[in-house]
Amino acid sequence: MLERNRFKNKKVLVLGLAVSGFHAAKLLHELGADVTVNDAKDLSENADAQELLATGIPVVSGYHPTDLLDDTFSFVIKNPGIPYSNEMIKQALSLGIPIFTDIELAYEIIKAPIIAITGSNGKTTTTTMVHEILNLNRQSGIAYKAGNIGIPATTISKEALPEDDVVMELSSFQLMGIDTFHPHIAVITNITSSHLDYHGSREAYVAAKWRITMNQTPEDYLILNWDQKELQELAQTSQAKIIPFSRKEVLLQGAYVKEDWLYFKEEKIMPVEAIGVPGIHNIENALAALAVAKIKGASNQSIFEALAAFGGVKHRIQFVTEIKERSFYNDSKSTNILAAQTALESFPDKPIIFLAGGLNRGDNFDALIPYLTNVKAMIVFGQTAKKLKDIAVQAGIETIIEVEDVAAAVPKAYQISDSGDIILLSPACASWDQYKNFEERGDVFIQAVEGLLEKEKEEA
């Protein structure tokens, strides 16, 4: 890892406060940068903004003053979610100012080897699996997790030592803002069309994901889903050692499934049925995670114990509870069609009451129809409600109900359910039409289910 500090005595604009911006500003200040923060929201009552002001960091809020940004600035560190069409970003680009996300900033000082994980789906689960495996029976150091998983990499960048590992979940938004970032191990769980409203095209989205390997060398590793031909073709453009994983074919140079067991190369690791979370997608996540673990020298016993005990990730096909033999699952992290397909496939032999809907990004939901064969009822909400009702009709689903939101969907689903049913929230859409984020949407679902449970206890 290079010892460097590009930011000392340089003027840096942090665009967008939020959690990542707050910690980026603090770290830049410690590195000796001349930092200014700008956010379109009014931060006059914001505690984080007040803390930055108290340390001497200017905070300009309530609007984006393009005249603030001139050629005396050396860098912009932007919130990953801010699009490149933003007026301040366009101003920076016109001035030739490099634009980074906090991942690049954190890399500046991280001394530990980095394991970087991205993908359209499964990256949070895979990141968590790797984190848990690497911390089990560890002899020295610890494995940190950071990045898109909700822990800014800048918060652990000073703590991580050479004997540690930093396991980073990275979004396409974050990867757009890297320059020298160099993971020793990179993982791409899968790629499908996603966030096209941000990137403009599928090609641009895939290119953003592929940046994860752009600085890797033949001494590094790139773990890829070999069941996707697109990733096989892209693999030829990486300098890293390719480690493939597949659920469908035997790959003696990677991780694979054979006779219902997980293998790495020719080594039998654990039975598929021992993985602690359901679903075909979690077999793929486990294969990616065990490939990382084997490269890092983890024992088969640690891999087995961690994956068998794995209870899943909140909001990702998360089992909430059972009420009168109805099982409730929260898959609010399902913000695209592929994620919903994956969730529906996780219960092949169970009748499903499917709760879906959200932000209208112009998607056509016809690709869901083949996955609705065991859906007995659909409850839809949000901007995409009509589109989802249309595909439910095409799929021959007899019970189709439109409700206001997730809170209203839960009691309605329970009302029409029978013993043995799966009540599955897997929206297939982003949440921003009604909720701040998918976490809030999932929490509303959980609260509504817990309300049903309390009501049942009172009536018992």
Binding-site residues, please? 119-125
What is the end-to-end Cα distance of the chain in Å, rounded?
62
Cβ proximity of 329 and 424 under 8 Å: yes
Q: Are strands 34-39 and 11-15 parallel, antiparallel or unpaired?
A: parallel
Which residues make beta-bridge pairs with 352? 375, 422
Here the tokens at position 221 are: 């590793």
Known binding-site positions for ATP: 119-125
CB atoms within 10 A of CB 219: 9
Give, as one character, the DSSP assignment of residue 150.
T
Using CB atoms within 10 Å of the CB of residue 42, give its burial: 0 to 12 exposed, 13 to 18 middle, 19+ buried. exposed
- Determine the Cα–Cα distance for residues 31 and 102; give it in Å rounded to an integer: 14
CA angle 369, 370, 373 (to 5 degrees): 95
- Determine the Cα–Cα distance for residues 27 and 201; give it in Å rounded to an integer: 34
In which order are the strands placed within the sheet that holds 185-188?
143-147, 165-169, 114-118, 185-188, 221-225, 241-246, 255-258, 261-264, 267-271
Q: Which of 121, 165, 117, 157 is nearest to 141 (CA)?
A: 165
CB atoms within 10 A of CB 164: 19
Residue reference for tokens 């390719």? 242
Residue 48, C-beta contacts closer than 8 angstroms, at least 6 positions apart: 17, 22
Q: Which of 251, 314, 318, 317 is nearest to 281 (CA)?
A: 317
Residue type, 323: I
Q: Which of 200, 170, 198 is nearest to 182 (CA)?
A: 170
Residue 3, C-beta contacts closer than 8 angstroms, at least 6 positions apart: none
For the chain, the farthest-separated pair of C-alpha atoms sits apart, in whole angstroms, at: 70
